[in-house]
Structure 1
Amino acid sequence: MNNTSPRINTTFLRTVYCLGLLAATNPSLVAAQNQQQARVIEEVYVTAQKRQQSLMEVGISVAVAGEKEIRDRRISMVTDITLFTPNASIKENIPGLMPIITVRGVGLNDFNAANNPATGVYIDGVSLSSLALLSSDFFDLERIEVLKGPQGTLYGRNSTAGALNITTAKPDLENFGARVSVGAGSYDAIELEGMLNVPLSDSLGLRLAAKGIDQGEGYWDNDATGDDIGQRDVQMARAQLLWRPSERTDVLLKLENQRGRSELGSPEFFGVLPTANTSNCPGLPECSNFLGYSDTDGDPFKGSWSVSPDYDLDQSIITAKIDVDFDFATLTSVTGYIDFDRKYESDVDASPMRILDFVNTDAVEQFSQELRLAGETDALIWQVGAFYATDKVKTTYAGQLQALLNTTTYSSADVEAESQAIFANAEWLVSDSLTLIAGLRATQEDKSNRGFTSDLVSEVPGSGLSSAPFGSPPIVLASVDDDIDDNSVDWKLGLNWQLEESTLVYLSASQGTKSGGFFTGVATTVEQLLPYDAETLTAYELGIKGRASDYGMSYEASVFYYDYEDVQTYISDTTGPVPVNRLSNIKGATIYGLDLMAQWKPVMVEALTLSAGIGILDTELEAFDGPNGTVSKGNEQPDAPDLTANLSASYDFNLTESLPAQFAVDGRYQSDAFHDALNNPLLESGSYWVVNARLSAYLDDQWEFTAWGKNLADEEYVVQGSDQTSLGNGFRVYGPPRTYGVTITRHFD
């Protein structure tokens, strides 16, 4: 894959040149040649800088989807965000379990619930300490924003990759409204969603929303049992109460509950040992594991798994937001409490033998408090804030290793974290066209881990990870009782240049730090449980965004360069009797690339709307120690494809005189990508396109009828994998197959 770097280098330099040309060109002069009436590009408003602004005024690379786009394109889970975000990758280690978000090649490639993500995630302003808390479906959302690059001078929790803002729809004090949607789809899926907004008085409003999913069949067929795997039974409900006691004060209370009694998906097995049918291994279908098992059917959604991957999830969220206007400034308080529990079973070896089967539990309790004071004068827009959070995570793993080592293991980790920060950001309006930006942040984070892994030896002599003698009691293989303290000072400097009302050029340099943490998986030596260090990223970005209104077009482009130090990633640790993939640090990496997004409503075809996003990326890791010696400089970051693209087109027409309709198609492309820092070819995903489409009809502004399909070409593509060569096998995880369905929606005013 690295042989594409010269092409990317050339593209990068040409892009910088093109940005300069765009900045130097007055769009109004070009547009004067076009005498046609332009179609209006709707203004998009975001809260990326903690206040409502037009997207075209924000000197940050932001991808955004509003309420209508979220519903129309069925953006129902966090993995769907890549449909409108170039240079982003979102994957799951086990389908349905927990997402990993990577933005511009920066992400923590870890699936344990005890670690903070590289991309800060905020739901209604409340920071999520773990991506495990983002495992459920979306419903009744107002907006999704993806901010790229460090954002610590504006947001409560520090991060290196960026920020994901998810905003739910709020109560309306003036208008009654309701919506009910019923859907049916492939794999015996039934979906019901509803919303009710009631103004209780001039100062009090209530909004209720709920969603339920019952998918009777899973995507995967288990030949070992004759059953399918991946059924879903999920219910979610949310209540929000908005109280406005005066024109200066808003109090918003939210209570949300999520419940799941489902099954996880299953990975595809691959063997590493040659058989009579092949001499080329590992990875081919004929290859086997140490116990002689092969999976030769070539179907990633069919296999023989030894466990039923039951998945139970319960989550409760309480949020309180208070805004008070003091004339000179507005004080905002955001308080959040989350209680999360899950239990799941997984067949990590992806075979019918009990080689690596686990029963896992995670319990997360999180409290956070953020205070912000923000104001503005004729020449200055400013904000100061403070953030405090505590997280408690209890994780257990009960491992069934009977087929390989005739033993059972039990691991436990109790992780506690406390985060404190103060931050400030200011924008100085030097002139009508020039704004200088400066921000500063100080963070202190303390974490502790108390945990162990035990070998529960069977009564067979020499069995278990410790090869203990007959009758031995449980043996502690590794234990940890450790604390870490991380302190950091981060910053941002920027310049916004408003060339004219419709064009903004911005330049920024910023630094973000993500604190260290602990590996909380199964370990066989004390060294494997040592904490990993904090990572630091310094970002440089040049961008332009604007409108060519006479052509019905808006655009956004940016080039960026990242200096990435002490990169947190998985490494293969072979110091114990069983190799373990654990979290550690690599000295550094360099990342650079291009983001380009555009929307076009061509004046010659009034019913047509086109949008596109392109991401070009080049990543290079410094040399680091691998399981077989030093890995030379030049490996790519995990989940950092050289090229990503998202395209969409919608066409409005009339089925009858009173029945308007819309046909839409969208697609996402991703080039080859590795999924680990070793750039293991067994875990590499090839390039692929995923294409979706929908046809909607609208009746009397009250009814919507939609037929939809996702992954219409039934593309088979790898999103994650694990190489367990030393244990005889590995697995690959594939994205969802083709799905389709119909949805009927009724609106009430």
Structure 2
Amino acid sequence: MNDSAWPDVSKKGRNTLKSIHSTRALLLCCSIAALTVPTFAHADAADAAAAEASADAGTPSVPDIVVTATRDSRSFKDVPLSVDVVSGEKLQKFNLFDAKDISKLAPGLELTNTSGRNNTTTLRGIAFDPDSGTAPSVQVYFNEAPSDAQLVYTALYDLQAIEVLRGPQGLFRGLTSPAGAITIATRKPSFSDTDGYVQGTATDRDGYNLQGGISIPLSDKFAVRVAGLLDGNRGNGVTNVTRNERSRSRTESGRITLGWRPSSNFTAYATYQFLHADNIQNQQVFGPGAIPATVAPFVVGSAPIAPGFSVPIAILLPSGSTVRSGPPAEVSDYLAVSTGQNRFKNTFHYMNLNLDWDLGPVTASVIAAHQFALLDSVRDLDSGNAVVEPIGTSTVRVPNYLTSFEARVRSNNTEGLTYSAGAFYSKRTGTVFDTETNNSYAAAAPLSAGLFLPIHTEVSVPVFTETLSFNAGAGYKSGPFSVEAGVRYTHIKAIQTTDITASSPGGQVLVPVGGGANLIFPVAPFTQSIVGVPPELSQTVGKPITGGATISYQITPELTTYVAYGHSFRLGSTGVATPVGISADLIQTKPEKTDSFEVGLKGSALDRRVSFAISAYYQKIDNYLARFDGIYYNCPDTNGVCGAAGSAPINNATQAPDAAFSFNANGKATIKGVELTLDARPTNDWDIGINAAYNKARYDNARLPCNDFAGTGVPNQTGPAKITGTGNTSYCISNGRLADAPDFSLTASSEIRFPLGKVTPFLSALYTYRPSVFSTKVNFAYQARNLLDLHLGVRSEDRNWEARIFAKNVLNEKKITNISLGNALTGPYDSGYRTVNVTNPREFGATISHKF
């Protein structure tokens, strides 16, 4: 069955399909149960070597896990939090070169990039859109300093570990976040040995990845590590048939880390990383396509051509036109049809300093970082090619300067009273420039006919966010019992302003006068300046108090239980370049507050052949902040100019919407769930790991902006664009999902080894299951996804070299992962296509690696 047919099946048929998919998923899960490697809980290289040694001695056991979720090194079972750990070795083992693939190892985590311009992160069903203008729901840290997902996710190489911390973060790190945090740690140089690796991969879909790193001890006090990456692939695998151009991605990056250890109680690491990425990501579409309207003349409507003055705009197409927006396209065709290019260039400079000084009773730490990033993007605004001629492009330049500094002390004792204190400061600046050349009043006729009025828009958005926080914590440990609590006071100041300039060189418009006759009116050039954010809404200040507390008890040496509470905060957002005349609640949102309660059990059994962690939680969010794209609006207007002096009231009953825009909005929400990790090593040469998460994240009678053309109270784009109610936009009451993510998700992986003296052949597998889910936001039922990767190879007895072949997406599933609500529209024109993102097709490849 095609993805396009899925939403139209009957309820009975849909349930039957769901049953089939569930059965298929169960069979796949069971079939690879004998092939599972511990998905998260991985130790560092020394611990892994020790575990291998114990296995060789005939006592197989799951390696112990050392994590830094609480800003100190602890065994996984002693951390009173839900946390997933993926080692750098694991990333290399499964060729996880793209950060979005981390979700294959963490159920409930989704990392997506639907447009090529921004990365979105969803965890525990809580989503985040970078365009919302507030802090992310999942904060990312690179070597313990805050960074942007857009930058850090671009290249993964030479990493020590990635930790996924689940639940509200409001104490241990400088920035608060409601859903969790992801920490990425690079490998540090060795002061004693020269070591490193080199790895090369090639695939049948023009993919290549060459990476490596080497540590050189200059003395017992100085060391250096150098690492680099060269990566290329077809990106989303989409071909633009209009431009005869494939999507492609190319990334080059280099990193150098200097280590200084003048004594056994002092270490310092300084890191610099450079990255350049150049991506062409065509926007995929599917559907029959369309022939543009053939009525002549066809009145588009009135448009402002100068302050306080507007004229009707008309287009003229020859009758019987056969020009199409593009060919019919199935989901499996991976086709794009836009006339213009979608290209994204990212340059990243990152500097980081980490100092640790053991003073005996306490350890003092300093973390300082500075990053400069520049994202240049060009996008075609007519993704469905509804108007055959080039009609509009958006050129965006996003410079990002982020500086952060943290100083903290923590006590070194492990029994009795413990304490910590710290201060954190960060500042983000940069002015975003968006230039749009938009012939949105153009006819779908040759531009040589002169039937258009081009509008050139320049938007300047200065960004300033400053955060200062102080935190303190205390704990007490006595034998099997421990309690910890902490609080953080934060002062956040954000300033967001917008300057908009719209201009036109002039032109001519057609006004129909009946009988097929038209009058041509010349339009003089004009320039108009607009303030995009009202001055009284340009500054936002927050002074939250956040933190948390945990109680844990070691029932036995191998079994620990805990209870945790966390409170987090996100500053409200200010929409930039919002339509003039829109109400304040659509420009500036309220701050978001989060409370979470969690209970968990961690331990091991059968002489540590099995380790497990299970947690259950309940979370409540007041004023959950989300972004709603493509929402049609009306505003008070006079002669087509929104917000002009003497504007008439809104009359949604008779007025057609002015246009569509993306708005931020608040709504109450609750999240509850259960998460499970199970790792086992039944024999020396068989590893098993299964991880599952159930996260039910729902709005709680939230009143949210929506498109409700039919007036049914639910999101739809049925019929002509219309706004119901008396507000600037339509509103729908929602108890639906916070994100288009299923409640349940599962990951499993495995490895079976066949030692043959000097070499060890192996077979490994990585499987992820995502059930079907219906999205009320886009009125579409996403099909279940079963993604299976297989690796067959051989490695040396000492694990110094390895060669393998692999297949990704063995089942060749081509499933929609993101889809638009209705067809892509440009003005009054329907392209006949819906825009989609689809899983990449099956890919074969080979990898060779060598450690030294």
Scaled by the length of structure 2, what TM-score is found?
A: 0.76
Per the alignment, residue 545 of structure 2 pairs with 489
Partner secondary structure for residue 550 of structure 1: coil
* Deviation of the 1:637 alpha carbon: 0.9
Per the alignment, residue 665 of structure 1 pairs with 765
* Deviation of the 1:262 alpha carbon: 3.0
Per the alignment, residue 648 of structure 1 pairs with 749
Per the alignment, residue 375 of structure 1 pairs with 411
Partner secondary structure for residue 151 of structure 1: coil
Partner secondary structure for residue 198 of structure 1: strand
Unaligned runs of 5+ in 1: 8-35, 277-289
- The answer to whether structure 1 residue 435 and structure 2 residue 535 are counterparts is no
RMSD: 2.9
- The answer to whether structure 1 residue 226 and structure 2 residue 226 are counterparts is no
Q: What is the one-letter code of the residue matched to 2:470?
A: I
Per the alignment, residue 693 of structure 2 pairs with 615
1:570-610 deviation line (CA, Å, top 9, x unaligned): 13351362211222222x1111111111112224xx42211
Alignment of structure 1 residues 689-708 onto 2, 5 Å = 689-699=786-796, 701=798, 702-708=800-806
Alignment of structure 1 residues 34-73 onto 2, 5 Å = 39-73=60-94
Report the CA distance shift for 1:295/1:562 in structure 2 as closer, same or farther (over 3 A): farther
Per the alignment, residue 124 of structure 1 pairs with 143
Q: In structure 2, what is the Cα distance between the partners aligned to 1:650 and 1:549?
A: 20
Q: In structure 2, what is the Cα distance between the partners aligned to 1:497 and 1:612?
A: 25
Per the alignment, residue 666 of structure 2 pairs with 585
Partner secondary structure for residue 669 of structure 1: strand
Report the CA distance shift for 1:357/1:714 in structure 2 as closer, same or farther (over 3 A): farther
- The answer to whether structure 1 residue 309 and structure 2 residue 413 are counterparts is no
- The answer to whether structure 1 residue 103 and structure 2 residue 123 are counterparts is yes
Q: What is the one-letter code of the residue matched to 2:803?
A: F
* Deviation of the 1:212 alpha carbon: 0.6
Q: In structure 1, what is the Cα distance between the partners aligned to 2:599 and 2:290?
A: 50
* Deviation of the 1:549 alpha carbon: 3.2
Report the CA distance shift for 1:740/1:256 in structure 2 as closer, same or farther (over 3 A): same
Report the CA distance shift for 1:542/1:495 in structure 2 as closer, same or farther (over 3 A): same
The answer on whether the counterparts of 1:349 and 1:356 sit within 8 Å (CA) in structure 2 is: yes
Per the alignment, residue 243 of structure 1 pairs with 260
Partner secondary structure for residue 602 of structure 1: strand
Partner secondary structure for residue 69 of structure 1: helix
Partner secondary structure for residue 170 of structure 2: coil
Partner secondary structure for residue 103 of structure 2: helix
1:654-682 deviation line (CA, Å, top 9, x unaligned): 4x54321221111111123467xx62214
Partner secondary structure for residue 156 of structure 2: coil
Alignment of structure 1 residues 356-371 onto 2, 5 Å = 357-371=393-407
Alignment of structure 1 residues 706-721 onto 2, 5 Å = 706-721=804-819
Q: In structure 1, what is the Cα distance between the partners aligned to 2:757 and 2:263?
A: 47
Q: In structure 2, what is the Cα distance between the partners aligned to 1:640 and 1:469?
A: 52
Q: In structure 2, what is the Cα distance between the partners aligned to 1:745 and 1:522?
A: 52
Q: In structure 2, what is the Cα distance between the partners aligned to 1:330 and 1:674?
A: 51
Report the CA distance shift for 1:719/1:413 in structure 2 as closer, same or farther (over 3 A): farther
Per the alignment, residue 77 of structure 1 pairs with 98
1:678-720 deviation line (CA, Å, top 9, x unaligned): 62214x5322111111122113633211212222222223333
278, 289, 293: which is aligned to 2:325? 293
Alignment of structure 1 residues 179-578 onto 2, 5 Å = 179-215=197-233, 219-228=237-246, 230-268=247-285, 293=325, 296-298=328-330, 299=332, 301-352=334-385, 353=387, 354=390, 357-377=393-413, 378-402=415-439, 406-429=454-477, 431-457=478-504, 459-461=506-508, 470-476=523-529, 479-480=532-533, 481=535, 482-520=538-576, 523=579, 527=583, 530-550=587-607, 552-571=609-628, 572=631, 574-575=633-634, 577-578=658-659
The answer on whether the counterparts of 1:551 and 1:602 sit within 8 Å (CA) in structure 2 is: no
Higher deviation after alignment, 46-55 or 79-88: 79-88
833, 841, 852: which is aligned to 1:737? 841
The answer on whether the counterparts of 2:354 and 2:367 sit within 8 Å (CA) in structure 1 is: yes
* Deviation of the 1:122 alpha carbon: 0.5
Report the CA distance shift for 1:522/1:319 in structure 2 as closer, same or farther (over 3 A): same
The answer on whether the counterparts of 1:397 and 1:521 sit within 8 Å (CA) in structure 2 is: no
* Deviation of the 1:450 alpha carbon: 2.0
Q: In structure 2, what is the Cα distance between the partners aligned to 1:115 and 1:581?
A: 14
Q: What is the one-letter code of the residue matched to 1:306?
A: T
Q: In structure 1, what is the Cα distance between the partners aligned to 2:236 and 2:817?
A: 18
Q: In structure 1, what is the Cα distance between the partners aligned to 2:552 and 2:289?
A: 55
Report the CA distance shift for 1:77/1:214 in structure 2 as closer, same or farther (over 3 A): closer
Q: In structure 1, what is the Cα distance between the partners aligned to 2:325 and 2:359?
A: 70
The answer on whether the counterparts of 2:97 and 2:155 sit within 8 Å (CA) in structure 1 is: yes
Unaligned runs of 5+ in 2: 1-6, 19-56, 294-321, 443-453, 511-520, 636-657, 709-729
Q: In structure 2, what is the Cα distance between the partners aligned to 1:681 and 1:272?
A: 20
Q: In the comparison of the two structures, how many residue pairs are matched?
A: 689
The answer on whether the counterparts of 1:269 and 1:351 sit within 8 Å (CA) in structure 2 is: no
Q: In structure 1, what is the Cα distance between the partners aligned to 2:134 and 2:151?
A: 12
Partner secondary structure for residue 357 of structure 1: strand
The answer on whether the counterparts of 1:478 and 1:525 sit within 8 Å (CA) in structure 2 is: no
Q: In structure 2, what is the Cα distance between the partners aligned to 1:732 and 1:715?
A: 15
Partner secondary structure for residue 62 of structure 2: coil
* Deviation of the 1:295 alpha carbon: 5.1
Per the alignment, residue 281 of structure 1 pairs with none
Q: In structure 1, what is the Cα distance between the partners aligned to 2:136 and 2:253?
A: 24
Scaled by the length of structure 1, what TM-score is found?
A: 0.86
The answer on whether the counterparts of 1:433 and 1:498 sit within 8 Å (CA) in structure 2 is: yes
113, 129, 148: which is aligned to 2:166? 148
| Greater C-alpha radius of gyration | 2
1:601-626 deviation line (CA, Å, top 9, x unaligned): 224xx422111111112222132133
The answer on whether the counterparts of 2:500 and 2:530 sit within 8 Å (CA) in structure 1 is: yes
1:606-652 deviation line (CA, Å, top 9, x unaligned): 42211111111222213213333442241111133111110111111
* Deviation of the 1:294 alpha carbon: 5.7
Q: What is the one-letter code of the residue matched to 1:107?
A: A
Q: What is the one-letter code of the residue matched to 2:216?
A: V
* Deviation of the 1:199 alpha carbon: 0.6
Partner secondary structure for residue 506 of structure 2: coil
Report the CA distance shift for 1:104/1:291 in structure 2 as closer, same or farther (over 3 A): farther
The answer on whether the counterparts of 1:658 and 1:699 sit within 8 Å (CA) in structure 2 is: yes
Q: In structure 1, what is the Cα distance between the partners aligned to 2:580 and 2:819?
A: 22
Q: In structure 1, what is the Cα distance between the partners aligned to 2:822 and 2:503?
A: 22
The answer on whether the counterparts of 2:241 and 2:336 sit within 8 Å (CA) in structure 1 is: yes
The answer on whether the counterparts of 1:110 and 1:570 sit within 8 Å (CA) in structure 2 is: no
Per the alignment, residue 602 of structure 1 pairs with 682
Q: In structure 1, what is the Cα distance between the partners aligned to 2:234 and 2:572?
A: 41
Identical-residue share of aligned pairs (%):
19
